[in-house]
Every structure is written in structure tokens, then in C-alpha cells.
Amino acid sequence: GSLHIGGARTALYNYLLAKRYGGSFILRIEDTDKERNTQSSQDQLIQELHWLGLEWDEGPDLEGQDRGDFGPYTQSQRGAVYHKYAQRLLEENKAFYCFASEEAIDQAREQTPNNVTFKFQSPYRDLPLHEAREKLKAGEEAVIRFRNDFHDRVFTMQDAVRGPVDLPSHMIGDFVILRADGSPVYNFCCAIDDALMEITHVLRGEEHLSNTLRQLMVLEALNLTPPTYGHLSLILDQEGKKLSKRTGASSVSDFMDAGYIPEGLLNYLALLGWSDPEHREILSLEEMSLVFSTDRLHLAAPMYDPDKMRWVNFQHLHAKEPAYIWQAAQPFIRKANLELPSDPKWSSLAMSFFHQVFHTLADAEHIFR
């Protein structure tokens, strides 16, 4: 579906970071979850990033054609890459074939005490690789699990937002990197792609902190260099809960339908977790890109304020020419079935009176009714 504004804010911060330091802003399509991914949702995401004005330097364009030197940028097209590295891990005894059924895993999970994090102990962990391959030839199915042999080591990373973060290796067990059908798992793909695409910085939501340990393990096992990670706090609604459709507008399409313009939406999203060093509140995308830095990203979770959002959008609309607002408001005028004079002199006169009272383009309905 539509891009959640949390995802839009993440894209914005990555864009600003790249532009501030002369880097490349990269769009990568992470579509390994076949059940959740659809072509229509992918197309909508690309179109909404384009509408926002967050133009990427590398990745698929609006027609689906890649630009950049490290493609393909769609993970479902990179299967051979992931299989190559999975086989390398198998050969180096850093991964193993696991033939355990889902029923066996579920049974083990049910027997785990409620206060203990479930970590599946595969009976196939020490099965020699040549025997596992014989079982595969005989028609048996298996996933490939990464072998967590880090023995209670603590992975410490310097998070760009949170500072030093310790991730104890015992938090997770031997995790799946390739499913039984051969499709790769998200964390495996991202770790490899970040290294091969020479990604230097990744800003993402704090819900990805649990993924970071797995990615660091994979990268170390393959002797690949990890990027600098920064984990952003979630955007909360006015009840202090994660912002969702249940509590109102939460996606880019919601704000497009409500008559917001890209400049207003981007400006407000930037303020949800970052502050300008000169304490300005109304900024253009270019102005933000000149001063953005991760040391001004806030650790505290920001709260979405719809009134502040309308005010920020009003400031950007107020700076527009009346003719721009008139043209941009036409879809909302038609939607409201308003029959207004077609004489350009009328619209010019009307907008000279009313253009400064628009908070969103959708206000045209009650302004001209």
C-alpha cells in the first residue's frame, strides 16, 4: 500500500544525509517477502517518493529500469548473489542445512517457558555437509541456518542516533538465511547488499534494532564491512501509541488526498525527530539538506500534531503564487462538484482574496462553496 509517513521520514533523513555530505541516495526494493509484496504497492511507493521530490541517485526509475553501478536494485532479482554467499557459509561451516519440520519447531516453541526467548536447537546442526547434500538429492527439503558460534560475544556498534549500543550474541539462536524454497531471508539479503553496494550509512526505524545483530553476524562471517547504522525513534500519535490508520492519516496518500503539498509534508516530517541548528521551523528541502546532521536527530519519540502539520503546510502554501494554488486545487474543486466561473479574470480576482487562507488544497471546498 501507500508509504507510511514513518517510512517517508526515514527516506527524507537518508536523502538529507546523502545530500549534505555529497553522497548518493539509493532506492533498493526489498521484496523477499512474497506474501506482502505486490507490484502495485511497489509502483505506488516509487510514485510517492517522486511526488515528495526525494529523487534517488541509484535504483529503479518510474519505468522500473535501474540506474547505478551496483544493480539489480530489486532483491528478488539478486537470487544468484545470495545463493553464492550462502554456499560459501556452508563450505566454511558457518551455516548448515536444517531439515526440521515446521511441526517440530512449533513443538519445541510450545515447550519453551514463557519467560525465555525461543531459540531453536536444530538436531541437524552438526550433520556433515556431504550427508546433508545427499538428503537433498533424495528429495528432502531444508532451510539453511546461519551458525551462531559467537559464544556470548557482545557486538558493540556506534549508532548514529543512539550512540554505543551493545548487542549480546546470546539473544538469538541459529537463524534462517535461505528458506526451503531457496528464497533468501530479509536480514541475509540486506547484509550482503549493504556491503556489495558500498552502503556507508543506513538510517532506519528503531524496530530494526533486533535485525542489526543478525546482519552484523553475517557481515563478520563473510569478512564484509558493515555500514554505520542509525535507528530512529517511532512516530507516536496523540495517545502515545505508534501512529497508524486507526488514529487518522498515517500514509503519504492520506496527506495527498487531504490536500497537503510535498514541501509542507517534508518540512513537518523533518521536524518529527530532528531540529534545525538555527531553530528555524519553516525550511525548504534544499535548506534542510545544507544543515542536516545525525547529531541533531532526537532519541525521544516524537508525537504527531495535526494542528502543527496544518500550520507548516499553510506556511508553504502562503509562499506560493495564487495561480499555483488555483491549479493545484482543481482536483479538490471537481471532487466537491463546485461549478465555478471559467473566466480567468474571476479566478485571478478570487485567488487574490483567498489564496492566503488555504491551509491545504482541500480547503477549496469550503472557501468556494
Which active-site residues does the annotation give? Answer: 245
Q: Which amino acid is at 351?
A: M
3-class DSSP state of 81: helix
Residue 198 has a CB neighbour count (10 Å cut-off) of 12
The maximal CA–CA distance of the chain, rounded, in angstroms, is 83
Characterize the bridge pairing of strands 154-159 and 163-168.
Answer: antiparallel
Q: Which amino acid is at 149?
A: D
- Residue reference for cell 500514509: 251
Q: Which amino acid is at 47?
A: Q
- Taking the C-alpha atoms of residue 349 and residue 213, their distance in angstroms, rounded to an integer, is 61
- Taking the C-alpha atoms of residue 240 and residue 198, their distance in angstroms, rounded to an integer, is 37
User: Phi first, then psi: what are they for 295, rounded to 5°?
Assistant: -70, -5
- Taking the C-alpha atoms of residue 24 and residue 73, their distance in angstroms, rounded to an integer, is 14
